[in-house]
Amino acid sequence: MTTNRPQRPNPELAPKPYQFVSFPKDRPKLQRPVGHHKYLSDRLHGTLYLKLKVQTSVHVSTGVVVMGSDIGNNRIPLIKTMIQGVDQKLAIGGSSLKGCIRSVYEAITNSTLAVITSKYKSQIPRERLPCRNKEQLCPASRVFGALDWQGLLDFNDAKCEKMGFTAGFMPSLYPPRPEQRQAYFVRGLVAGRKFYYHTIRAIDKGQNAGIPVQQAAREYTFTTQLHFKNLLPEELGTLLIILGQDPKYPIALKVGSGKSIGMGTMTMSVEKIEQPQDLKQRYSSYQLSESDELTGEKLQKFIQKNIQAAHLHLIQKTQLEELTAILRYPTDREPPAEMY
């Protein structure tokens, strides 16, 4: 019996498009979260207004395959869909962005893993297992949430500024197989957190087999808002580093599917920050005070002040440098020429 399924090459010969960020040596410091019962006067509250720019094509799958004619392209028989509003504009779910940003936050702070696969539970260091007690949470869980704890951030969906989409291509991809590569483990335990490199472009279709996908092409832009409450300066500063606002650590995010073939690179900019100076006035009036909005030079001073606090009180320098080596953007790295 013959098969047309592509054969996996020798994994020891093919270069891998990913690398690992090691775990910090110290155990995570678990603390009680601050709570949602009131806006605390010694904490930070507000909204980040973000612009996301597509650098390599982005596809965040809905899990639904439809006929091309159903989404306005009669030349494609079948296509994997991305979220699209009634206005025909693409969108990226807030939960997708939250997961992407949380994974980086966990890696550069001394935090536990948020989610694990039960198959490999015995190979994960005990101190890195997900938080299960809402009274004792790691730095990432206190901000993003954990079992029975909502967290301090709210992510809106990101909406494309341009109408329509492009039809891209997704080859046949394999799930990770850690048991076949020793780099995943050190002395029987997982080596760290895995991140894919950025590349200058996504692979071309060529002769590869695969399926068309609905995607946002290079230079598409999205806008969204991220609401925060009761954050410490170092917690907000860490978020801003992840959003690429620290010139010493110029990182971009990998969003959606096809990370291994170069897809999903997005850069972010903070357009403005809304930060109420007087909470009583903010919630007793329909009119926003101009002093509540930070833009231009004031915005940059505010961003750099909180980033400095993050480096002093929260960031794990070794892990941030390892991560930056992987997620640095721009890059001159080529995508895999063939299946790896």
Closest CA to 72 of 188, 172, 163, 193: 163
Of all residues in the chain, the percent with pLDDT exceeding 90 is: 73
Distance CA 213, CA 61 (A): 8
CA 301 to chain centre: 25
In terms of average pLDDT, the best of 111-115, 174-178, 277-281 is 111-115
| Residue-wise pLDDT tens digits, 24-77 | 999 999 999 999 989 999 999 999 999 999 999 999 999 999 999 998 888 899
**185-188 contacts, C-beta under 8 A, 24 or more apart:** 185/123, 188/123
Contact call for residues 216 and 60 (beta carbons, < 8 A): no
What value does the mean pLDDT of the chain take?
91
The token duo for 266 is 């997005």
**Residue type, position 331, single letter:** T
Q: Which residue has the tokens 């993003």?
A: 144
Strands 158-163 and 89-92: antiparallel
3-state SS class at 52:
strand
| Residue-wise pLDDT tens digits, 209-255 | 688 999 999 999 999 999 999 999 999 999 999 999 999 999 999 99
Beta bridge partners of 44: 231
